[in-house]
């Protein structure tokens, strides 16, 4: 609905902003810190901000669980970055470094990387392990209702 206001957590200061759905494409800024809510880059997730960014954002959130030493993670990173540029602001893309955020990694039950998890309203919609091409990734997002 175009009149609907969506809650979007700022990836910079974690303030929750109410953004009319009709204005989502107009580069909304955070009311607290003034930074863009969506900047075409995946937001960094941590043990400290995971609940706020995933649970308080009313657009789907897709999380890439990765580690710096992982070859497939490094190979998939440009695809995830491109998807962020292409599909934001209708989807929030975020990256969780599993080595540096063990509590969230354990809570999510991460056993292999890269693992992609799609959330809506803080609840898991879909999960997949392994790297893929942009077209495969887009298909996966569409199959699980992340993209319309």
| Residues annotated as part of the active site | 70, 73
Query: Are 89 and 95 within 8 A, CB to CB?
Result: no
Rounded CA-CA distance 45/126 in Å is 18
| Beta strands 123-129 and 92-97, pairing class | unpaired
3-state secondary structure of 78: helix
Q: How far apart are CA 81 and CA 85, in angstroms?
A: 6
Distance CA 133, CA 115 (A): 14
């Amino acid at each position: 609905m175009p009149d609907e206001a969506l809650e979007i957590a700022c990836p910079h200061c974690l303030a929750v902003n109410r953004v009319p759905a009709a204005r989502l494409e107009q580069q909304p800024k955070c009311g607290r810190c003034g930074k863009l809510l969506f900047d075409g880059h995946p937001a960094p997730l941590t043990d400290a901000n995971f609940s706020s960014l995933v649970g308080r954002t009313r657009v789907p959130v897709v999380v890439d669980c990765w580690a710096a030493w992982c070859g497939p993670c490094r190979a998939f990173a440009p695809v995830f970055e491109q998807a962020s540029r292409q599909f934001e602001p209708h989807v929030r893309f975020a990256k969780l470094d599993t080595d540096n955020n063990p509590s969230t990694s354990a809570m999510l039950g991460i056993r292999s990387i890269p693992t992609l998890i799609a959330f809506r309203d803080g609840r898991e919609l879909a999960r997949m392990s392994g790297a893929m091409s942009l077209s495969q990734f887009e298909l996966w997002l569409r199959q699980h209702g992340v993209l319309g």
